[in-house]
Structure 1
Amino acid sequence: MKVSNILSLFSLLAVTFAKTHTWYYETGWVTANPDGMYEREVIGFNGTWPLPILRITKGDTVNLYLKNGFTDRNTSLHFHGLFQEGSSQMDGPEMVTQCPIAPGDTFLYNFTVTDQAGTYWYHSHTSGQYGEGMRAAFIIDDTEDLPFDYDEEVILTVSEWYHDTSDVLMPQFLSVYNPTGAEPIPSSILFNDSYNYSWDVKPDTTYYLRIVNVGRFVSQYLYMEDHDFEVVEVDGVWVDSNTTSMIYITTAQRYGVLVKTKSDTSKNYAFMAGIDTDMLDTIPSSLTLNTTNTISYSSDNDAVESYTVDDYDFLDDFYLKPKSNTTLFDDPDYTITVDVAMDNLNNGVNYAFFNNITYTRPKVPTLHTVLSAGNDSADAVVYGTNTHSFVLQHNDVVDIVVNNFDTGKHPFHLHGHIFQVIERYAPVDDDDDPVTYNVSDHAAFPDYPMMRDTVYLNPQAYIVLRFKADNPGVWFFHCHIEWHLDQGLALVLVEAPELIQSNDTQQLTQNHIDVCNNVGVAYEGNAAANTKDYLDITGQNVQVKNLPAGFTARGIVALVFSALTAILGLCTIGFYGMSDIKDIEERVARDLDVDLDSDKEDDVNEEIVDGSSSSTR
């Protein structure tokens, strides 16, 4: 039998044995206390939390009915890392590929996973919600043997946790009273949605540990006492094994590692999770920066003690080689270069920018504009000036160059693709000026670049990402620190719009249209909801106006505190002016170091001289 016939047979068998998974979930508030320090409301499914781990096999179909059980807010769902080939409308981000799901409404997420396996996760793509607990792991089993051996599998999620809800934190964050854009400081960090977690292990066992950072903000250092990680997967990509004692994992990243346990069961060991403190503006004394979890060989052993290291010497994922031996893609047909900056606009709020544009939602989801714009869909104008949309040609090789003028780290995620990380610059000195990418003067690109869907950008440095535009759809590219996304650090890639329009599976489902109607969002038109002239974007949503020239964040701080001082001063005057305080004159004179008796004597003398004294002549 020919090889081609054998492959066709295997493909037919895979389709024959593929399954359809149907889930019904309703969002709602659930009371929980994951860190054992503070009970609060979190977002659950069907009245329970944490959310369920979802598991399918490559080739399977998903039918997930998400009902919005809230009464006062919209919701959505994104399957992080899934390509959504031919099903861009199921990708999830509000006003990018779908309308928000209104309270009481239901959206059917229907898609087939054709050629992906590994560790993924799912989460709300509505502001503030996945930080409230609306997130969990999504595992895709391979139909083929894995390129490594193991005995048992364990899923581990890490994240930070806040005791205040997003309803409290977000108005404080995006506020004139926070002009520097300092992110809210977490209350704690979680390990499998708990605190001081204990992982029960067996001796002489190889565990396949799937690690997912489901947090909204901080990166974490993970390290174990007297055990090593053998990295075999990153973001659903099998890689040549690489052994390390420490992993640095940003929000949204995933690592698949093998952990080999010991023969001796007489001792338990520490499994540490440490916050990247460089990401925090302040460090409150109440925040534990390194949490101690337990690798438990026996419950009879002594409790583990905190295990710390002198140096955070972690694996540099840049040098991981894909198991597929995928070589460096050809030179780019198209290059997108963006500069990251954080700055204030005229309302005093600190925003995030790509090339001075802070992402502002259109009035019509961008995918819907593609589907309704006809020939105009190839013109980026129809998507609006503040969505920062780029139109890509099918099968183009695309470079995304991100220059960081900010002093903070940023984990960037691309929907619909994995990319090759072909350069990531690291500054030698923290005091150096920002270094930008020079296309004619850079380090040699690797022959087999690391590939993943989320990668961190160093402060005041740059990254160069390369991918093939071989997946027609509308794809978000954004910082996965949720605070920064809410500040507008995002852009949109409109990939092969003519192929989106011609593909039957890309057309909006009736359920999708009904959801738009029920939430009051147009499902046709350009960024301004104009259906008559798609090149006329009058009335589009735009960002707040710029500050007057020369006005800086420092100036806003001075203005805010000057205003507060003035208000306090007026309150003080009002208080003393309206209060009947005994001996008020003596008190004020004493505070001002004035000799009141001398002043009274002068007043009497002045009255006598003026002839205005009431004394008898």
Structure 2
Amino acid sequence: MSTVRLLITALVLLVLPQAAVAKTHTFHYTAEWVDANPDGLHVKKMVGFNGQWPLPEIHIDKGDRVELYLTNGLENQNTSLHFHGLFMHGQNYMDGPEMVTQCPIPPGETYLYNFTTHEQVGSYWYHSHTGAQYSDGLRGAFIIHDPDVPFEYDDEKVITISETYHRQYDDLTREFKNRYNPTGAEPIPQNLLLNDTQNATIHFEADKTYLLRFINVGVFVSQYVYLEDHEMTIVEVDGVYVEPKTVEYLYIAVAQRYSVLVKAKKTTDKNYALMQKFDNTMLDSIPQDLKLAAMSSIVYDAKQAAPKPYSFVPSGSFNEINLRPLNKTELLDEPDYRITLDVIMDNLGDGINYAFFNNITYVAPKVPTLLSVLSSGEHATDAKIYGSNTHSYVLQPHDIVEIVVNNQDSGRHPFHLHGHTFQVVQKSQAFEEDEQEAYDPDNHEPFQKYPLIRDTVILEPFGYIVLRFRADNPGVWFFHCHLDWHLEQGLAIVLVEDPLAIQEQTPPDDFYRICEACGVPTRGNAAGHVNDWFDLQGEPVQPAPLPEGFTLKGYVAFAISTLIGIYGLWSIIQYGLEDAVQDDKAVFDKLERILKENDMIQVPLLSGNDASEEAQ
């Protein structure tokens, strides 16, 4: 046998074992409304698969291929599917966010998500990327098992945490994005969920080591998770192995994932509490009936007494920035391209509160941005064709890209990047508004040699984050706040990475067919024009600014004044003029105090004796 033939045979033998074990997993799911009662308190319509909810966990192995046929049986809503954290190398059209990388799937249509996971392993999840639709249940765990996992355990369990709303997302969105909610207060959930229920049970056997995969599949509130009298050792974050770090509790923002090793007790004479708690600082108000904590059970022996709620005060010792990648990936070099973004929440001329990066709130184009790339030829390298309100940036191949986000808002924001993980080069603490700091590239804290790598990171109130990645995955990638109410408000940008290489990708016929089915153009710029690629007349844009002289405080004052007037009329009708003035003086005094504290009035409201005199 010749030397060349021997070499060929050796190469084939090396490749064959991998090819032999790689599998194709085929799923046929119809998304349809299902009556469910996640928290045991309220039955609502949830998005199930094939008549069942919760949705199934998907488990595959490294390098496997997935064929998932998704039929939209919702009748009254479009849908889509995003596999959160997967890179979709060479298959950008499988990423999922509607009007970014695909057209929405209209009712009655089927779309095939067909992709290979390549080298990725770890904890991921899938969810609708149509509005905040996944708050109605279109979400599930997606786990890629690693045959060469670098730690030992006996068994594993997937644990999703989330919150539940008793009303559907489209109704909540209409009230949220409304001039009668001028402060942009997010909808308050009704309950915490663990594995899409309350009072869940996790079974442990004595002396075993468990890998617990925690995934926050919620849309809004970060959560604390702590386990009574058990230590948790973090070994994986967002699909990236990290140096083992033992912690007392976890703080998990929406879309983040943590895998931890837990050593079970040697005896089975007691059961233990698994607690979860809302980060209530993220809530604009806390209704009296809202429980901020919930208990599930770690059960060793069902015959033993059930655990009691375990009270734990987070010490502040948990900080994601302290985690290090296991493979010791060094800090990337100085960036070739820096994108600096300022987060602002403010009102526009329609009275609605929006979220902005650099005074631009994301508005979806008439043509999905990926389709603009694929149809624009040489114009694809010019960011202008993607529209003024998609906030698109064109990235050059293999550039080191740095994204700096300065928070001018009092809230926490979990930012997620599609198509990549990133190095968390800097992450500031939270600041008070009058002490806030923007990132200064010429004057900052020392960088870590081996910074944390993940795909979703928390931006603290009035703080900043600095992220770096290499542009080595051609595609149209969304960067957005994963607090989905803020994405609904427009807190997103689009990264068009190596557009000429994107044009070498060939989407399947399905990709174009669903666009035709829902009446979305497959060619053109953000305005749908093909004759002049730089003619953006008619593109979707954000509303005009507030008229001069109008401010958020003005809208709030107007809203409160309107409530005062309505309440006063109601009191007059209900009780009679004289009695209403006396009985409701406390209400007027309270409203007056609120207005004064916010510097919204200079003279007292009509109340007390003045009100009586005016009434007479």
TM-score, normalised to structure 1, is 0.90
Paired residue for 1:43, among 42, 47, 61?
Answer: 47
Match of 1:222 among 216, 220, 225: 225
Q: How far did 1:460 drift?
A: 0.0
Q: What does residue 586 of structure 2 align with?
A: none
Match of 2:459 among 457, 460, 480: 457
**Cα-Cα RMSD:** 2.3
Once residues 131 and 301 of structure 2 are traced to their aligned partners in structure 1, the CA distance between those partners, rounded to angstroms, is: 42
Q: CA deviation at 1:511?
A: 1.1
Question: Of 321, 344, 349, which aligns to 2:347?
Answer: 344
Contact 1:371 1:507 in 2 (8 A): no
Q: Does the 8 Å contact 1:246/1:313 carry over to 2?
A: no
- Count of aligned pairs: 578
Distance 2:320 2:532 in 1: 47
Q: Corresponding residue for 1:196?
A: 199
Rounded Cα–Cα distance in structure 2 between residues aligned with 1:418 and 1:570: 57
* Partner secondary structure for residue 435 of structure 2: coil
Query: Is contact 2:62-2:118 (8 Å) kept?
Result: yes
Separation in structure 2 between the aligned mates of residue 368 and residue 45 of structure 1, nearest angstrom: 29
- Find 1:466's aligned residue among 468, 474, 478: 468
Structure 1 contact 403–462 (Cα < 8 Å) conserved: yes
Residue 544 of structure 1 deviates from its aligned partner by 0.7
Does 2:102 correspond to 1:98? yes
Match of 1:523 in 2: 522
Amino acid at match of 1:21: H
Change in CA separation of 1:47 and 1:595 when aligned onto 2, cut-off 3 Å: closer
The answer to whether the 8 Å contact 2:88/2:94 transfers is yes
Relative to 1, partners in 2 of residues 1:284 and 1:439: Cα closer, same or farther, differing over 3 Å?
Answer: same
Q: CA 1:405–1:7 in structure 2 vs 1: closer, same or farther (change >3 Å)?
A: farther
Distance apart, 1:561 and its partner CA: 3.1
Whole-angstrom distance in 1 between the partners of 2:564 and 2:250: 47
Greater radius of gyration (CA): 1
The DSSP-based 3-state class of the residue aligned with 1:291 is: strand
Residue matched to 1:376: 379
Is contact 1:15-1:59 (8 Å) kept? no
2:238 matches 1:239: no
Against the structure 1 CA distance between its residues 3 and 335, is the aligned structure 2 distance closer, same or farther, given a 3 Å change threshold? farther
Specify the alignment match of 1:354 in structure 2. Answer: 357
C-alpha distance in structure 2 between counterparts of 1:7 and 1:285, whole Å: 67
Give the 3-state SS of the residue equivalent to 2:384 in structure 1: helix
Kindly provide the amino acid, as one letter, of the partner of residue 525 in structure 1: G
8 Å CA contact retained: 2:410, 2:433:
no
Which ranges of structure 1 fall in alignment gaps of 5 or more residues? 578-590, 597-617
Contact 1:275-1:289 at 8 Å conserved across structures: yes
1:490 to 476, 489, 492: 492
The 3-state SS of whatever aligns with 2:120 is coil
Distance (Å, rounded) in 2 between the aligned partners of 1:272 and 1:178: 33
User: 1:512: which partner in 2?
Assistant: 511
* Percentage of matched positions with identical amino acids: 53
Question: Is the contact between residue 346 and residue 544 of structure 1 (CA under 8 Å) also seen in structure 2?
Answer: yes
Deviation string, structure 1 residues 258-315 (Cα, Å, up to 9, x no partner):
0100112111111110110110011112111111111111112122111112334342
CA drift of 1:12 comes to 3.9
Residue type at the aligned position of 1:329:
L
Instruction: Report the 3-state secondary structure (helix = DSSP H, G, I; strand = E; otherwise coil) of the residue aligned with 1:136.
Output: strand
Cα distance in 2 between the residues matched to 1:595 and 1:215: 51
Find the counterpart in structure 2 of residue 558 from structure 1.
557
Change in CA separation of 1:132 and 1:312 when aligned onto 2, cut-off 3 Å: farther
Q: Aligned partners of 1:552 and 1:145: how far apart in 2?
A: 58
Q: How has the CA–CA distance of structure 1 residues 305 and 568 changed in structure 2, closer, same or farther, with 3 Å as cutoff?
A: closer
The answer to which of 548-557 and 28-37 deviates more is 548-557
Q: Is the 8 A contact 1:425 1:462 kept in 2?
A: yes
Aligned to 1:518, the other structure's residue is in SS state helix
Query: Residues 191-590 of structure 1: matches in 2 within 5 Å?
Result: 191-427=194-430, 430=432, 432-501=434-503, 503=504, 506-566=505-565
- Report the 3-state secondary structure (helix = DSSP H, G, I; strand = E; otherwise coil) of the residue aligned with 2:513: helix
C-alpha contact 2:249 2:314 (8 A) present in aligned 1: no
Give the corresponding residue for 1:600.
Answer: none
Question: Which residue pairs with 1:160 in the alignment?
Answer: 163
Change (3 A) 1:212 1:574: closer
Whole-angstrom distance in 2 between the partners of 1:3 and 1:154: 44
Alignment CA distance shift 1:529-1:432 (3 Å): same
Q: Which amino acid aligns with 1:452?
A: R
The 2-side partners of 1:256 and 1:216 are apart by: 20
1:248–1:314 CA contact under 8 A, matched in 2:
no
Within 5 Å, give how 1:6-25 maps onto structure 2.
Answer: 9-25=13-29
Q: CA deviation at 1:58?
A: 1.6
TM-score (norm 2): 0.90
Q: SS where residue 421 of structure 1 aligns?
A: strand
Q: Classify 1:499/1:553 alpha carbon distance in 2 versus 1 (closer, same or farther; 3 Å).
A: same
Q: Check the 8 A contact 1:227/1:260 in 2, yes or no.
A: yes
Mean Cα deviation higher: 233-242 or 545-554: 545-554
Q: Deviations over 1:5-34 (max 9, x none)?
A: 978754442123311111111111111111
Shift of 1:433: 2.8
**Is this contact kept in 2: 1:27–1:66, CA < 8 A?**
yes
Letter paired with 1:184: P
> Unaligned stretches of 5+ in structure 2?
577-610
